[in-house]
Structures are given as C-alpha cells and as structure tokens.
Amino acid sequence: MGGLLVGFGGFAWVGLTVASVLVPFALRRAQDERTGLLLMFSAAAIIGASSPASPRATAHSFAARTPVGTLERIRARAGRSIDIIFGDDAPLARALLIADQRQIPAEMRDRYATAGLVHMLSISGLHVAVIAAAMELLFQVARMPRRVALLGAFVATGLYVMVIGAPPPALRSAAMLGVAMISRLAQRPTSPWAAWAIGAFVPLLVPRTALDVGYQLSVLGMCALVAAGSLWRSLVACAVTAPLVAWVFGRLSIIAPLSNLIAAPIVTLAQPVLFLALLLAPLGAIAQFFAQAVHPLLFAFDWIAWSAASVPGAAVAVTTTIPAAFLGALAAGALVVACVSRFPSRPAIVGVACLGLMIARSGEVELHVLDVGQGDAVLLRTDAGRWVLFDAGPAWRGGDAGRSTVLPYILRRGGTLEAFVLSHPHTDHVGGAASVLTAMRPRVYWDAAFAGGSDAYSLSLTAARNQGIEWHRVHPGDSVLIDGVSLTFLAPDSAWTVGLKDPNLASTIAIARFGLVRFLLVGDAERAEEDWLLEHHRDELRADVLKVGHHGSSTSSSDAFLAAVHPDVAIISVGAGNKYGHPSLDVLRALSQFGAQVLRTDEAGTVIVRTDGAHVEIEAGEDKWQVAHDSSGH
C-alpha cells in the first residue's frame, strides 16, 4: 500500500500543491490556507508511516575538530542522503542542492555548456534566493507576523547554506539576501547594487574564492539580474555570463537565450521541492515522495539541455586567448551598461559586436612541451581552445608538477581539458596526474594500463574514479577526432606488454594529425618498442615533430626508428643537470644527421609548436621562427 502511494507520489503532489495553494488563495481565508498545508503534510506523513522499511541516512555524531571539517562532514552527509532519496536523479540533485558536480559526467556537463545552461548546474545564487523566497512564503502562509516570517526565512536559508557546506556562490547569495532582509526589516530602502557589492565581498574573507568559477558566474549573473530589473532577467543573466562561460568552456552557446527562457522556470519550480526532500531526508519515505514529485521537472530540465545541445550550430567554438578575454570582459560590461542606461542601443551594439569578435577562431593547433624538469608533460591545444594532456610531469615530497606547472599553465590560457593520456606509470610522467585530474576533470583518461605502477599512478586512478572520469585502455589503432585534430594510438599492444618488466617498453605511442602536419609522442619508449613499431606501423611513423623517447637516452631513438619518423623538429623533455646524463650525445648527433632541429626543455624552457595544418612555427623563450619544410624524406 505504502509502495503504491509512494509510486503515485508525483501525481499526488501535483494535486495537493494545487489544492493547498490555489484553493485557499481563491477563497482568501486564513484557515483554509492552513488547512491546505496541513492536508499536504498529513498526506505525506501517512505515506511515510505506511511505507515499508524506509531507507534513512544513518545519524552521525557532530564531533568535529574544525569548523571546516564540520561543514564538510555535513555536506558529505547531505550528499549520502541525496544518493539514497533521489536514485538516478542523484547527480543532478547533488549539483542543484549542494553544489557538488563530481557525479555529473563530463559529457553531460559538456552538453549543458553547449545548451548554455551550465551556470544553472553550478549552484547559482539564484537557487538560494528561490529557497529563501519559498521559506518566506511558507511562513507567511502559516500566518506568522511579517517580521517573524522574514527572520525565519533568513535563519532557514542560513541553515541551508551551512548544510550544503557553504559553497562560495551560496555564501555570496546568502550575504546579499541578508542585507536585503535587514533593509526590509529596518524599513530602510537599500540600493540593490549595495547589497550586490556586499555579497561579492566573500573573497575578502576567503581570497581563494575569487578563482572559483561558480562564484564568478554567480556574481556576474546577479549583477545582470540587478541591472535588468524585472525585464528579461534570465536572458540578460545568460548574456552577461556568456563571456565567462566562453572562457572556461571554450564555446559560446547561441541557443542559450531560448534554452534559458524555457529552463529557468522549471529550475525555479524544482528547487524548493528538492530542498524539501533533502530537509525531510530523516523521514525516508516522505523525502522520497518529494523526490519523485520533482523527477518530472528534473527530467524536463535535462531534456531541454539535451534537445538544445542537439540543435545543429547550438554553440560555436571560441578560442580562449588573452584578446578574447578582453573582448569578453568588454562584452559583459557593455551589456550591463546597456541594461541600466537610458540609451541602451549603443552599449548593446558594442556588447554584441564583442561577442561576435570572440567567435573568430585562430585556426591553429599548438603543441606545448612544458618545462617540468626531469619528466614529461606535453599539452596539445586545438583551435577551439580545448586541451589534451600527455603525461603530467614528476612529483616530489609535498608537491608535483601538475599543481605547480601544468594547472597554472592551462588556467592562464583558458579552455577545458578534454583528455589525459598517460604514456606509462613512472613517477616522472604520472606524478602530477592526480592534481590535474582532480582540478580539470577531463572527459577521458587513456592509459596503457601496465600493471604495477607507482603510488602516484594509483593516486591518479583514484582521482579519476572520484571525479567520474572515464578510464580507457589504449588499443593500437584506436582513433579519436577532437576539433579537427585526429589522435591515433599506435601502441602498446596487449599481446606485446604481456611478460614485460619495464614500463618504458609499454609506453603509449600517440600520433596527432592536423591537416598535413603530424606530431609523434612516444613517452619513454626504448629500442625494443621502437622495433615493434617498425614491424607493425612503419608507414604511420612519419612525423614533422617528434617528442623524443625517454628524455633523449641512448637506449632510445635507434637509427632505423629515426629514419622512419624523419622529423623536422625533435623536442627533448629533460631536466637540467639530471643524474642520468640525459640526453645522450649520440642521440643528439643522430637527430641532427637526420635533419631535425633539436630543442631541449633544459635549455629552451617550454617549447611551443604551432601549425595551421601546413606550416610549422616554433616558439621558445623570446624567439619565434618558421620551420623550413624538408620534403626529401616524406
């Protein structure tokens, strides 16, 4: 019986809400309002009581050493409750309720970015405002005096922000709401800009907040809402946040105005119900009743994102460069000015023109061989500003190259990390992986899966699992296309790796092609693997740029292999004065003999190779030069 009732919960809830809200308001009689609410809750209580063995979150003691620890524990507990109550909807509910996006697959986040709805996934301050408004309405309906209702709503909202672990956007929103409520209680009008500014002060307390994308989106979005007044609110908010989304996700959603117009009311409706379900989590079945009630709304929200993203041309790629960032900032500023100005046409035109200019793509693909000391970290950047990382540099006591070099490098240039490719599990290659995977959440992790790696390797696998990153074993012949760059794996073959002792010989071999230009990345492959490649893929080895194997050691780069690759440019990633004596003089000599320009990261620092698909340009330090194409060997 209980199960049946819970099953029909969604429909019952719709009817009860209509009854409890519409009927009393139609009759305009206080008792009936209360009757309606009472009806709604008692129905829920009956369902809860009659439901068999309701699952419930286990109680934990609140013993905590630090306030931050307490907050995290509360949030983790809320997360577990959400998993139990919401089932398949849990990833979306986690994002919307406690600003936890870890369970949202990268693919889905991608879809929301294309649809222009990704700002709704990072708990926008709007959610907190919706909940505050819903609480106030609830207290008013319960005939509480106005002041008490206002205060009650504020306290409840504060509690909510604590329960979700006080993510910066929610904190910002709560501060702004607090100011607005105090001004209403004191009956002194306050400028909404003042309230907005006070809300935006969170970084004064926690400076790191300034770097939080959720916080940035929330401040910008709220700025747009204040500027827009009541007119076209969600549209203006999405236009003003568009440049920031373009910077972070490398695309500008064209369909965003439409998708936002449809999705905004749905999320506004869903939010209070989600909240109620979380609040009632200890009551098991009642919480599930609300969770099922909200299911159609979440389904509709996801469906809108899916449909909007499937429209051809839903989003255009934006290359995230410094000029693009300036254009974006200018666009956002101009759009806000257009909203508050009495003569909005000029700033509006400037804003739209800047957005238009951002779309211009460079049409260039770049390979960045980072200077990470003794180790490898190579970044490929598509002309849409997306990145693929091959190896993540070394780790050392208390630090790693992922955190110290790779992450700042990507963040300075903007754009998302599409994939991580690990050549092999030695610490000088996998050391920085866990940091990068955790911070950048690429869609996939490609790995040669050579058993028995370092601690850093296990850490990277754990990070991938925690962040919901797809893990794939590399198979020779596998190929993917990322923004016009085709990436093909040539090795290792699983039959080849069986019985191998040395991870170097099971290095992932990848060839990236853009137009006519080819980059070959060979990890730490040594002679035995080179011979295997010559035997199986000789015709595919030809490349304009070679990341030289095993830091230029004499155990790699055999003459036969170099003859097959015949690179114009050879880049050696190596630490200055390393204890292994890399690179070997013989290898340097051989590379020159085959006509390759040799660049070493210990001498040149980070090396950037740029191509339009036909020409190759090199940038190292202050210098930039074109590579003369040697056609004799091709």
Is the bond into 442 cis (omega within 30 degrees of 0)? no
Rounded to a whole number of angstroms, the minimum distance from the CB of residue 504 to Zn ion is 4
**Taking Cα atoms as reference points, which of 438, 425, 440 lies closest to residue 394?**
425
Q: 625 is written with which tokens?
A: 């030069």
Is the bond into 192 cis (omega within 30 degrees of 0)? no
Rounded to a whole number of angstroms, the minimum distance from the CB of residue 272 to Zn ion is 54
Nearer to Zn ion, 268 or 454 (CB): 454
Q: What DSSP string describes 557-615?
A: --HHHHHHH--SEEEE---TT-TT-PSPHHHHHHHHHTT-EEEEHHHH-SEEEEESSS-
Nearer to Zn ion, 24 or 492 (CB): 492
Phi-psi domain of 605 (left: phi exceeds 0; alpha: psi -120 through 50; beta: other)? left
Alpha-carbon gap, residue 352 to 225, rounded angstroms: 18
Rounded to a whole number of angstroms, the minimum distance from the CB of residue 490 to Zn ion is 18
Rounded to a whole number of angstroms, the minimum distance from the CB of residue 369 to Zn ion is 13
Nearer to Zn ion, 416 or 507 (CB): 507
Nearer to Zn ion, 216 or 553 (CB): 553
Nearer to Zn ion, 33 or 428 (CB): 428
Rounded to a whole number of angstroms, the minimum distance from the CB of residue 430 to Zn ion is 10
How many angstroms separate the Cα of 586 from the Cα of each of 54, 374, 567, 620?
Answer: 72, 19, 17, 24
Q: 104 is written with which tokens?
A: 């949202």
Alpha-carbon gap, residue 122 to 155, rounded angstroms: 23
Max distance between CA atoms of the chain, in angstroms, equals: 94
Q: What letters, b where the CB count within 10 A reaches 16 and e where it falls short, cover 299-321?
A: ebbbebbeebbeeeebbbbbbbb
Nearer to Zn ion, 403 or 426 (CB): 426
Nearer to Zn ion, 152 or 373 (CB): 373
Would you mind telling me the total number of residues written for the chain in this entry?
A: 634
Nearer to Zn ion, 119 or 582 (CB): 582
Rounded to a whole number of angstroms, the minimum distance from the CB of residue 555 to Zn ion is 11
Nearer to Zn ion, 428 or 602 (CB): 428
How many angstroms separate the Cα of 294 from the Cα of each of 96, 129, 289, 362?
Answer: 12, 19, 9, 44
CB atoms within 10 A of CB 221: 26
Nearer to Zn ion, 33 or 524 (CB): 524
Whose structure tokens read 């004499």?
Answer: 554
Nearer to Zn ion, 331 or 505 (CB): 505
For residue 22, the number of C-alpha atoms closer than 13 Å in the C-beta half-sphere is: 6
Rounded to a whole number of angstroms, the minimum distance from the CB of residue 550 to Zn ion is 6
Please report, as a single letter, which amino acid is at residue 535.
E
Rounded to a whole number of angstroms, the minimum distance from the CB of residue 524 to Zn ion is 3
Rounded to a whole number of angstroms, the minimum distance from the CB of residue 424 to Zn ion is 6
Where on the chain is the footprint of Zn ion (CB under 5 A)?
Answer: 426, 428, 504, 524
Rounded to a whole number of angstroms, the minimum distance from the CB of residue 553 to Zn ion is 9
Alpha-carbon gap, residue 104 to 120, rounded angstroms: 13
Rounded to a whole number of angstroms, the minimum distance from the CB of residue 583 to Zn ion is 12
Nearer to Zn ion, 295 or 426 (CB): 426
- Give SS3 for 92: helix
Residue 58 CB contacts under 8 Å (≥ 6 apart), including other chains: none
Antiparallel, parallel or unpaired: β 509-514 and 517-521: antiparallel
Rounded to a whole number of angstroms, the minimum distance from the CB of residue 588 to Zn ion is 18
Nearer to Zn ion, 428 or 530 (CB): 428
3-class SS letters over 1-37: CHHHHHHCHHHHHHHHHHHHHHHHHHHCCHHHHHHHH
Distance of CA 55 to the CA centre of its chain: 32
Rounded to a whole number of angstroms, the minimum distance from the CB of residue 573 to Zn ion is 8
Alpha-carbon gap, residue 402 to 442, rounded angstroms: 14
